[in-house]
Amino acid sequence: MAEAIMQQTLSGWGGMNSEVCDMFRPEKRRALSELIQCKHSDSLIARGLGRSYGDTAVNGGSAVVDTTRLDRMLGFDPDEGLLECEAGVSLADIIDVFLPRGYFVPVTPGTKFVTVGGAIANDVHGKNHHVDGTFCEFVESFTLLIPSGEVLTCSRDENEDVFWATAGGVGLTGIILTARIRLMAVESAYITADYTQCTHLDSALEAMAATDENYQYSVAWVDCLAKGKNLGRSVLMQGNHTPAAELSGTHAAAPFAVKGGLPKMVPFNCPSFVLNPLSIQAFNTVFYAAHGTCTGKIVDYDQYFYPLDAVNHWNRLYGKSGFAQFQATLPFESKAGLVTILERLAKSRRASFLAVLKTFGEQNPGLLSHPMKGYTLTLDVPNRPGLTLFLHELDKILLDHGGRLYLAKDAVATPETIAAMYPRLDEFRAIQKRLDPKGVLSSSMARRLGLVG
Amino acid sequence: MNNEFNYSVVILGSTSGIVRATAHAYAEAGYALVLAARDDEENKILAADIRVRYGVTCHALHFDGADAASHPKFVTDCEAALGTNPTGLILGFGYMAEQEKAQRDVTEVQAMVDVNLTGAISILERFAAVFEERGSGFMGVLSSVAGERGKQSNYIYGATKAGLTCYLEGLRVRLFKANVTVTTIQPGFVDTKMTYGLPLPGPLVATPEQAGRAIFKAVSKGQDEAYVLFFWRYIMLIIKAIPRWQFKKMSM
């Protein structure tokens, strides 16, 4: 039976630039090989839970394959902590099943509603990048369906070039079918967190440099509206998994139990005036004041890693016109670039709340994988007139200081910018072309940025 | 997992979205499972998934609803796999041909009858005999709201499901005396492959997980009939109450 098609207007999580796509949502693995041989459309791209902010998993006028029904777990080796599962399995699902058995996802972005396939294709990172690296560091191998219908097993020993082209390759090398992931053993569902107030960017960066090595997780919340002597004032939030022995009371009796509440919901797009510089400044001031320096606070993993997941469709807070997310990564020696960007943001009053700053560890061999050693600053920018020009201005500052954007977040960059930021793009294109000579795999992002040859 | 009573269930037609979710509801409750489907490759994936997620016994057995001759052996295969006869069964296989194709092509009609009626009756009778002799058991069978009223858009499929619903009514009466429950399930709209892309009003459509849990609950309570979302009972009451002279003018 032919796969059912649904015509749907799709955008990334930022809600900008919606396009009509032909969506498929196969429930059997075999259907993917039929789809990739492209009897339905010019091209296709796989899509998981749609948390990329821009047009990574959008394919205007062509096919998008929703993989969320191909979410079966295939095997688990408790000695190695090795999980084999299909690409549509979400990190939330993995946590639900394995946290009670003493395992956590080894790397997680700020939402658990991403699929394993998406985590590989964007080579996602988390608050532990400075010690553990990206998600793909924990992927032993995956199987990749390529347009010829062939299934490649990719690992560091087998099809290694395809492995590192697919890690961060935004879905353009094929459809990931299954992956083997090393989970991380933990003793509880809790994080012991230390909060440090930093009055200025410099003190935040100094504190990170001095103390990050003591923590598996580290991130600073930054007030991007603060200027002058308050520029980059932040709350540094560092933490480690809580050992079972350090829990007390009810937590000690059930170290993996976390009281779950029903998620709250933003039911419809808010009017865009809800988030304005005044309301955001008020939020930032309260947030800064509320997080005085404190140590040893025990919080559950949901509160620590996923504060925004507690509100379904929080992206609707930005209203119908949506928002862009800007993530800038700069080498350590380019602190001046970071300062220039923060100054520009403060002056523009475009920045939103929840800007975060962290340090990245070593870069991996992923051809389009984002993280590189240095600082990374991430924030939402509401879509108001002039947004594209403003972001291009930031992109230029970033380029001038040897920095780079993150494809999973980007919605407006130009091909030239991305090519300059990712010097191995040509290598990627060559491998992509070899796997997909007929150009079956494409996306709105791939066309916008010329990622495929 | 909590399975002190060694409950077990045979799930027929495990590769459909609703049935997959129903199997998960049983696994979550600690049942040992046999998943049965024609598509061995998918069925094995589904069984592995259940074993990893819930830590219960879960076997994948080949089963073809339309091949009635193979059914007696399937019953003994289940017993061999579980080490005992199952506590109960869920029947969720079915075949829906395109209405217009079925109007032109009698082999499509035959295929629906073979699967939805002959096949279902054949396997239910085999297990009915086992449960009746034992004096316990449950049967949850997916029929369809399409069997309640013949609609222009799918009345041939509907006719096979009407037949199945009628059959279940009688089977229920017979097995009542043997302490075996028979639940007729009319899922309504569930967000699976069958409804994907149809312009259905969101609130009428259940998630597969909702459907699976609702089916588990209704069958466990031994309900005679069950809908996934409660209001379908009222929708169907209204649809059934429309007089024929009016119904024939409607474009349903």
- Identify all chain A residues contacting B45, using CB atoms and an 8 Å cutoff: 29, 72, 74, 86
- Identify all chain A residues contacting B39, using CB atoms and an 8 Å cutoff: 28
Q: Is A53 inside any structural domain?
A: no
Verify that A124 and A166 share a domain, yes or no: yes
Mean pLDDT, to the nearest integer, of A305-333? 88
| Choice among A219-233, A322-336, A372-386, B216-230 with the minimum mean pLDDT | A219-233
Taking only the tens place, the pLDDT of each residue in B7-64 is 999 999 999 999 999 999 999 999 999 999 999 999 999 999 999 999 999 999 999 9
A302 φ/ψ angles, rounded to the nearest 5 degrees: -65, -45
Facing A27 at nearest CB: one of B17, B41, B48: B17
Rounded distance, CA A384 to CA A324, Å? 10
Instruction: Give A292's contacts (C-beta < 8 A, 6+ positions apart).
Output: A195, A197
A372: closest CA among A325, A413, A334, A419? A334
- Å between B212 CA and nearest CA of chain A: 15
Q: Is B252 inside any structural domain?
A: no
A30 pLDDT more than 90:
yes
- Identify all chain B residues contacting A74, using CB atoms and an 8 Å cutoff: 45, 48-49, 52
**Which of A151, A186, A221 is the C-terminal boundary of a domain?**
A186
Q: Is B1 inside any structural domain?
A: no
pLDDT at B2: 45
Q: Domain limits at A267?
A: 190-412
Residue of A nearest to B17 (CA): A27
Mean pLDDT of chain A: 92
Rounded distance, CA B139 to CA B27, Å? 17
Verify that A168 and A210 share a domain, yes or no: no
Mean pLDDT, to the nearest integer, of A187-191? 95
pLDDT category at A85 given cuts 50, 70, 90 is: very high
Verify that A199 and A302 share a domain, yes or no: yes
Rounded distance, CA A245 to CA A239, Å? 16
Verify that A179 and A205 share a domain, yes or no: no
B6 pLDDT more than 90:
no
Verify that A103 and A251 share a domain, yes or no: no
Verify that A159 and A119 share a domain, yes or no: yes
Q: Domain limits at B159?
A: 8-247
Long-range contacts of range A209-214, CB-CB < 8 Å, 24 or more positions apart?
A: A209/A359, A211/A238, A212/A130, A212/A238, A212/A359, A213/A130, A213/A131, A214/A238
A174: closest CA among A121, A137, A113? A121
Environment class of residue A153 by beta-carbon count within 10 Å: exposed (0-12), middle (13-18) or buried (19+)? middle
Mean pLDDT, to the nearest integer, of A436-449? 96
A25/B193 CB distance under 8 A: yes
| CATH number of the domain within which B204 lies | 3.40.50.720
- Identify all chain B residues contacting A26, using CB atoms and an 8 Å cutoff: 193
Chain center to CA of A191:
21
Taking only the tens place, the pLDDT of each residue in A245-302 is 999 888 888 899 887 655 667 767 766 666 677 777 777 777 777 777 888 999 999 9
B48/A97 CB distance under 8 A: no
Verify that A280 and A336 share a domain, yes or no: yes
User: Around Cβ A282, how many Cβ atoms within 10 Å?
Assistant: 12
Percent of chain A with pLDDT strictly greater than 70: 96
Instruction: Give B95's contacts (C-beta < 8 A, 6+ positions apart).
Output: B66, B111, B112, B114, B115, B116
pLDDT at B241: 87
- Å between A75 CA and nearest CA of chain B: 6
A74/B52 CB distance under 8 A: yes
Environment class of residue A365 by beta-carbon count within 10 Å: exposed (0-12), middle (13-18) or buried (19+)? middle
| Contact of A73 with B45, CB cutoff 8 Å | no
Rounded distance, CA A70 to CA A90, Å? 10
pLDDT at B1: 42
A38 pLDDT more than 60:
yes
Taking only the tens place, the pLDDT of each residue in B238-250 is 888 888 888 888 8
A69/B39 CB distance under 8 A: no
Residue of A nearest to B98 (CA): A1
Percent of chain A with pLDDT strictly greater than 90: 75
Structure tokens at B70: 């193979």
Verify that A294 and A387 share a domain, yes or no: yes
A28/B52 CB distance under 8 A: no
How many helices and strands (H and E) does chain B possess?
10, 7
- Å between B172 CA and nearest CA of chain A: 33
Question: B200's torsion region: left (phi>0), alpha (psi -120 to 50) or beta?
Answer: beta
| Choice among A85-99, B5-19, B191-205 with the minimum mean pLDDT | B191-205
Q: Is B3 inside any structural domain?
A: no
A27/B193 CB distance under 8 A: yes
Verify that A124 and A205 share a domain, yes or no: no
Mean pLDDT, to the nearest integer, of B224-247? 88
pLDDT at B199: 85
Instruction: Give A113's contacts (C-beta < 8 A, 6+ positions apart).
Output: A49, A51, A90, A91, A92, A309
A72/B46 CB distance under 8 A: yes
Strands B88-91 and B8-12: parallel
- The vertex-A204 CA angle with A280 and A341, nearest 5°, equals 60
Rounded distance, CA B211 to CA B92, Å? 12
Environment class of residue A264 by beta-carbon count within 10 Å: exposed (0-12), middle (13-18) or buried (19+)? exposed
Residue of A nearest to B197 (CA): A6
B52/A4 CB distance under 8 A: no
Facing A73 at nearest CB: one of B41, B52, B196: B52
A74/B49 CB distance under 8 A: yes
Taking only the tens place, the pLDDT of each residue in A398-420 is 999 999 999 999 999 999 999 99
| Contact of A114 with A125, CB cutoff 8 Å | no
Rounded distance, CA A5 to CA A47, Å? 15
| Choice among B37-41, B224-228, B235-239 with the minimum mean pLDDT | B235-239
**Which of A186, A217, A248 is the C-terminal boundary of a domain?**
A186
Q: Is A426 inside any structural domain?
A: no
Q: Is B141 inside any structural domain?
A: yes
| CATH number of the domain within which A121 lies | 3.30.465.10
pLDDT at A278: 73
- Å between A73 CA and nearest CA of chain B: 4
pLDDT at A289: 77
A28/B197 CB distance under 8 A: no
- Identify all chain A residues contacting B200, using CB atoms and an 8 Å cutoff: none
Taking only the tens place, the pLDDT of each residue in A132-179 is 999 999 999 999 999 999 999 999 999 999 999 999 999 999 999 999
pLDDT category at A355 given cuts 50, 70, 90 is: confident
CA dist A303 → A17, A306, B38 (Å): 31, 6, 45
Give the three-state DSSP class for A224. Answer: coil
| CATH number of the domain within which A331 lies | 3.40.462
CA atoms within 13 A on the CB side of A48: 28
Taking only the tens place, the pLDDT of each residue in A42-58 is 899 999 999 999 999 99
Give the three-state DSSP class for A94. Answer: helix
Mean pLDDT, to the nearest integer, of A322-329? 94
Rounded distance, CA A441 to CA A116, Å? 19
Structure tokens at A84: 């084999």
| Choice among A20-24, A62-66, A189-193, B187-191 with the minimum mean pLDDT | B187-191
- Å between A146 CA and nearest CA of chain B: 20
Environment class of residue B112 by beta-carbon count within 10 Å: exposed (0-12), middle (13-18) or buried (19+)? buried
- Identify all chain A residues contacting B197, using CB atoms and an 8 Å cutoff: 4-7, 23
Amino acid in position A269: N
Q: Is A63 inside any structural domain?
A: no
Structural domains in chain A (count): 2
Chain center to CA of A8:
24
Q: Is A39 inside any structural domain?
A: no
Verify that A129 and A158 share a domain, yes or no: yes
A319 pLDDT more than 90:
no
Verify that A195 and A316 share a domain, yes or no: yes
B187: closest CA among B157, B167, B207, B173? B207
Structural domains in chain B (count): 1
B196/A4 CB distance under 8 A: yes
B45/A29 CB distance under 8 A: yes
Taking only the tens place, the pLDDT of each residue in A193-241 is 999 999 999 999 999 999 999 999 999 999 888 888 988 899 999 999 9
CB pairs under 8 A between A and B: 45
Q: Is A437 inside any structural domain?
A: no
pLDDT at B5: 63
B42/A28 CB distance under 8 A: yes
B53/A74 CB distance under 8 A: no
Verify that A174 and A88 share a domain, yes or no: yes
Taking only the tens place, the pLDDT of each residue in B103-127 is 999 999 999 999 999 999 999 999 9
Facing B196 at nearest CB: one of A6, A28, A86: A6
Mean pLDDT, to the nearest integer, of A15-44? 90
**Which of A186, A220, A238 is the C-terminal boundary of a domain?**
A186
pLDDT at B246: 87
